[in-house]
Amino acid sequence: MAKDECNCEACPEWPLSMADMMTNLLCFFVLLVSIANFDESKFQAISDSMGEAMGGENKEALFSESEQAEFEMKQTIQLIMQDLNVLFDGDKDIKLDFQKNAVAIKIQGEGFFKPGQAEFTPKAFDILERVRGVMEGMPFPSTVEGHTDSVPTTSSLYPSNWELSGARAAAVARYFIERGLDKNSVRVIGRADTMPIASNKTPAGRAVNRRIVILVSPS
């Protein structure tokens, strides 16, 4: 035997195990990337191929019910977002955003309510009708949130921003319910000034913080 030839019996087995582990890790990360944009047919194909690769193990055990439900939730939210983007494309009064397990329809409060009140301006009715048309076709529960800036109210009717934000959210929910929205599928929350999305130190920032947010969630 040549001096530099390997004696197989003396070779350690850990390099082979390490190589197998690195290959498995690579496959795992490729899998994560491939299902980042979840598609149910791809999900099933991945599950099938992994089951075959692992010697015919039970495919159903590869993904738990909660994991599959989470994937399906994300896919549904993506579809809702796509539909709403088409309907509200170019609408400067309405913005869309993702929140946890929900799509947020944001309506800016500037010019939507009368200052310090929960009464709609004439402009608000046009916006509400556009949103209501979308809400009618959504078989999902929704939450209407009212948000204010940090300036204290001076109204005797609404002694704090909590009452004002709750009243504004209730006014929007009532508008939808009176026009056919199922009252059992909507809830109202007043957030006051606890969740600002801009600085309350400037007039422009305060205007952005005064808003109504409608959360549509399949859960």
Whether residue 212 contacts residue 109, with contact meaning beta carbons closer than 8 Å, is answered with yes
Give DSSP secondary structure letters for 29-95.
Answer: HHHHHHTSS--HHHHHHHHHHHHHHTTS--GGGTS-HHHHHHHHHHHHHHHHHHHHHHHTTT-TTEE
Q: Note whether residue 3 is domain-resident.
A: no
Domain annotation covers residue 76: no
Residues 113 and 185 grouped into a single domain: yes
Residue 72 lies in a domain: no
- The answer to whether residue 141 sits within a structural domain is yes
104 and 179 part of one domain: yes
Most confident of 6-15, 76-85, 114-123: 114-123
Q: Which position has the token pair 């909660």? A: 66
Residues 134 and 187 in one domain: yes
Rounded Cα gap, residues 145 and 107, in angstroms: 10
Residues 25 and 102 in one domain: no
* pLDDT, tens digit, 9 for 90 and up, residues 147-166: 999 999 988 899 999 999 99
CB atoms within 10 A of CB 164: 25
pLDDT at 128 over 80: yes
Asked, for residue 54, whether it belongs to a domain, the answer is yes
- Co-location of 99 and 199 in the same domain: yes
Q: What's the pLDDT tens digit per position in 161-217? A: 999 999 999 999 999 999 998 999 999 999 999 999 999 999 999 999 999 999 988
Based on the fold, state whether residues 203 and 131 are members of the same structural domain: yes
**Do 199 and 106 share a structural domain?**
yes
Distance of CA 46 to the CA centre of its chain: 25
Regarding whether 212 and 126 lie in a shared domain, the answer is yes
The range of the structural domain enclosing residue 45 comes to: 8-64
Amino acid 154: pLDDT:
86
Residue 120, sorted as left (phi over 0), alpha (psi -120 to 50) or beta, turns out to be: beta
Is residue 92 located within the same domain as residue 188?
A: yes
**140 assigned to some structural domain:** yes
**Number of independent structural domains in the chain:** 2
pTM of the model: 0.67
Could you tell me which residue, 52 or 134, shows the higher pLDDT? 134
185 located within any domain: yes
3-state helix, strand, coil in the chain (%, to 5): 50, 15, 35
Q: How far apart are alpha carbons 196 and 210 in whole angstroms? A: 9
For residues 101 and 193, membership in a common domain is answered with: yes
**CB burial readout 102-116, b (16+ within 10 A) else e:** bbbbbbbbbebbeee
What whole-number percentage of the chain has pLDDT above 90? 33
**pLDDT computed for residue 157 by the predictor:** 92
- Same domain (yes/no): 152, 188: yes
Question: Residues 171, 177, 183, 189: what is their CA dihedral angle, to the nearest 10 degrees?
Answer: -20
Residue 190's CATH number: 3.30.1330.60
**Domain for residue 151, yes or no?**
yes
What's the rounded Cα separation, in Å, for the pair 199 and 170? 26
Between 37 and 94, the more confident residue is: 94
